[in-house]
Amino acid sequence: MREWSWGFLFIALAFASSIAAERNPRTERISGSAGDVLEDDPVGKLKVYVYELPSKYNKKILQKDPRCLSHMFAAEIYMHRFLLSSPVRTLNPEEADWFYIPIYATCDLTPTGLPLPFKSPRMVRSAVQLISSSWPYWNRTEGADHFFVVPHDFGPCFHYQEEKAIERGILPILQRATLVQTFGQRNHVCLNDGSITIPPYAPPQKMQARKIPLDTPRSIFVYFRGLFYDVNNDPEGGYYARGARAAVWENFKNNPLFDISTEHPTTYYEDMQRAVFCLCPLGWAPWSPRLVEAVVFGCIPVIIADDIVLPFADAIPWEEIGVFVAEEDVPKLDTILTSIPPEVILRKQRLLANPSMKRAMLFPQPALPGDAFHQILNGLARKLPHQKSIYLKPGEKILNWTAGPVSKRFAKANMPAASEGNIRESPRHLVFFPPNTESVGIICVWILEDKHDKWRVKSQGFFNAPILCLHYPVFVPISRRITGHPHGASQLQGVGIGFLFPSYPWPGPGLSKAKVFSIVGLVEFLYEEAPDAMKSIGSACAALFGGLGCFVASIINSIAKSATRNPENKQLSRLSQDINQAKFDYFYWLLTILSIINSAFSCIQHIGTSTGQSRPSRSGKPNKTSLLRNEDS
């Protein structure tokens, strides 16, 4: 009997809705409320400088996986494209109010389309390291006048599970920046005060193409399509959506007023336009694209996510257009929705029909007045002017540049790099020793340890490891003061230092330090210059080629032994362990000659490839061509 009463009430509501649609105005706005600022024009209120980063931070990532263009995290891509041609963009950073760092930190998808956030922290730190060493603007505020777009599940915490996201927290280097993010939940560690909450990306053209006539009756009372359980990531249940979705299914799967299912039909968009209420429950995160779809299709969003911070809450009157249901009240959802008076439902529908409400939730291409791009700019404009307290004193540091998660996957393949002061982008515990011909020479010297020149021999083995550990905290700052280079020396210069000081004439720590410059330079060069998809393969090849070098050196050693030995005359080899007859200096001179030839060949090749490249600008500002040539070549 109870279900019949629900059905009768629903039919009455649907009939009243269709009659009102014909007789009453289809749109309404709330004068004097937050909704008045939806149509504000940000042009003239702020200027934004867009950093021109190497393409490995954005364009190359997108080329690798074009699926990112249609993913719900695509706001970071389209915001970048919008700003490049926006009238608020300035090419003069001295007059900028805000600085935008265009990195596609969430464009890393599995074969099934699920995002992987694990390399995002390293990418963010790398980008900040680059701009802080190439431009002065980050360092003067430590990012307080910069903004990032971080549209992941839990935004700048970079994890899709809340427990792990809370454990990570916001990447410390982002603590002073303004974060433009889809995640929003009050009193949560992944949402900073002052962050701008935005809607997730939903394809505007696809949604527009699926519109049905406005006078189509809304014959579905409650509509939902999606997961109720995530058996793969939450096999025991109860953790996914904090149990709210499971409660919807268990309580209303057989209720005739609820059209809910895990199936995603081809008529999904059309069905939402035929529904009165659309459920928007939390999933792994409080937000979902259903919120955008509900608003665009005029379906009253039923928001089931405690403490959620909704997109552009200072501009969109969510309390007037939606229905909020506490997670613990999900079992009473039927009673809550059927008790809403018809006139309240009709008013919410008229507000949702306002075009400005729909535009504010979309990222159209090309941009339109009042769309989500402009709402973001409005949010940034409302934070101006910056307070004087954001500017730091010369030499003052607040943020911990090295704290936060580091991707294990990338830590194994990359060598740390240093730039400004205490910046070290990568894990410092990683040590990589590519073997080379000098290593063979040292092995040969160790053979003589008990017979000749013990101090010199032991110093070779003793100084390598500690000097490599001291490379970044000691030698890089010293050489940086001399050369002015952020890393102390460029990659090729580091390799050249190793070539310049061959093994034999330079014993002790001098040889070890030269070798360290060569080792670090080779690894940094390998990582920076290799394509993204070949970095691990390149590291393996480096080790392989180094091993081949050792193998060739042993062949040379064997040939030298055979050529200089005469058993008939009892003449020992020049590489004999008998130090009275051995001539190891010849062996080292051979290595020296090979190093000189190698160095000369490298210089000739470098000169040939450098012809026609641009020089740094005299103004001291970073030369765009020099910054990008290695990435776009």
Per-residue pLDDT tens digits for 309-328: 999 988 889 999 999 999 99
Domain match, 210 and 330 both: yes
- The predicted pLDDT at position 542 comes to 66
pLDDT greater than 80 at residue 170: yes
- The predicted pLDDT at position 116 comes to 82
Higher-confidence position of 384 and 548: 384
Mean pLDDT on 110-135:
89
Tell me if 450 is assigned to some domain. yes
pLDDT greater than 80 at residue 416: no
**Residue 455 sits in which domain range?**
437-472+516-559+578-593
Task: Give how many domains the chain has, as a whole number.
Answer: 3
Mean pLDDT on 181-203:
93
Domain match, 210 and 358 both: yes
Q: What does R_g of the chain's alpha carbons equal in angstroms?
A: 32
Lowest mean pLDDT among 64-68, 194-198, 485-489, 544-548: 485-489
- The predicted pLDDT at position 149 comes to 96
3-state secondary structure of 98: strand
Domain match, 251 and 193 both: no
pLDDT greater than 70 at residue 422: no
* Residue that has been written with the tokens 């433009």 in this structure: 180
Tell me if 129 is assigned to some domain. yes
Tell me the percentage of the chain whose pLDDT exceeds 70: 64
Q: Would you state the structure tokens that stand for residue 197, as one six-digit string?
A: 């909450």
Average pLDDT value over all residues in the chain: 76
Q: What angle do CA 49, 51, 54 make, to 5 degrees?
A: 165
Q: Would you state the structure tokens that stand for residue 269, as one six-digit string?
A: 């968009």
Domain match, 197 and 82 both: yes
- Measure CA of the first residue to CA of the last residue in the chain; give whole Å: 73
**pTM listed for this prediction:** 0.62
Higher-confidence position of 590 and 170: 170
Question: Torsions phi, psi of 449, nearest 5?
Answer: -55, -40
Which residues does 308 contact at the CB level (< 8 Å), separation at least 6? 184, 185, 186, 282, 286, 287
Domain match, 222 and 190 both: no
The answer to whether the beta carbons of residues 557 and 587 sit under 8 Å apart is yes
Mean pLDDT on 365-394:
92
How far is the C-alpha of 67 from the C-alpha of 114, rounded, in Å? 11
Mean pLDDT on 224-247:
86
How far is the C-alpha of 396 from the C-alpha of 380, rounded, in Å? 26
- The predicted pLDDT at position 500 comes to 57
- The closest of 134, 9, 17, 114 to 68, measured between CA atoms, is 114
Tell me if 76 is assigned to some domain. yes
Tell me if 14 is assigned to some domain. no
Domain match, 208 and 197 both: no
3-state secondary structure of 476: helix
- The predicted pLDDT at position 629 comes to 32
- The predicted pLDDT at position 570 comes to 58
- The predicted pLDDT at position 265 comes to 92
Peptide bond into 366 cis (omega under 30): yes
3-state secondary structure of 105: coil
Tell me if 616 is assigned to some domain. no
How far is the C-alpha of 45 from the C-alpha of 440, rounded, in Å? 66
- The predicted pLDDT at position 313 comes to 87
Question: Torsions phi, psi of 225, nearest 5?
Answer: -135, 125
Tell me if 214 is assigned to some domain. yes
Helix residue spans in 231-341 (DSSP H): 244-252, 268-273, 290-296, 318-321, 333-338
- The predicted pLDDT at position 594 comes to 76
pLDDT greater than 90 at residue 399: no
3-state secondary structure of 301: strand
Tell me if 482 is assigned to some domain. no
- The predicted pLDDT at position 315 comes to 84
Higher-confidence position of 285 and 475: 285
**DSSP character string of 360-402:** TT---SS--TTSHHHHHHHHHHTTPSPPGGGSPPTT---S-SS
Cβ atoms within 10 Å of 12's Cβ, excluding its own: 11
Domain match, 129 and 236 both: no
Which residue type is seen at 1?
M
Tell me the percentage of the chain whose pLDDT exceeds 90: 46
Domain match, 453 and 386 both: no
Mean pLDDT on 379-406:
79
Domain match, 189 and 54 both: yes
Which residue type is seen at 523?
V
Domain match, 113 and 65 both: yes
How would you classify the pairing of strands 178-181 and 146-149? parallel
Domain match, 220 and 343 both: yes
How far is the C-alpha of 229 from the C-alpha of 241, rounded, in Å? 8
pLDDT greater than 50 at residue 182: yes
pLDDT greater than 50 at residue 242: yes
pLDDT greater than 90 at residue 546: no
Mean pLDDT on 337-343:
96
Q: pLDDT tens digits, residue range 428-445?
A: 333 333 334 333 333 333
pLDDT greater than 50 at residue 633: no
pLDDT greater than 50 at residue 423: no
- The predicted pLDDT at position 19 comes to 40
The answer to whether the beta carbons of residues 117 and 367 sit under 8 Å apart is no
The answer to whether the beta carbons of residues 122 and 172 sit under 8 Å apart is no
Cβ atoms within 10 Å of 84's Cβ, excluding its own: 12
Half-sphere exposure of 366 (CA within 13 A, CB side): 4
Higher-confidence position of 536 and 182: 182
Domain match, 311 and 455 both: no
Tell me if 449 is assigned to some domain. yes
- The closest of 4, 124, 28, 32 to 343, measured between CA atoms, is 28
CATH number for 247: 3.40.50
Lowest mean pLDDT among 25-29, 74-78, 111-115, 138-142: 25-29
Mean pLDDT on 565-588:
64
Residue 238's pLDDT band (cuts 50, 70, 90): confident
- The predicted pLDDT at position 445 comes to 35
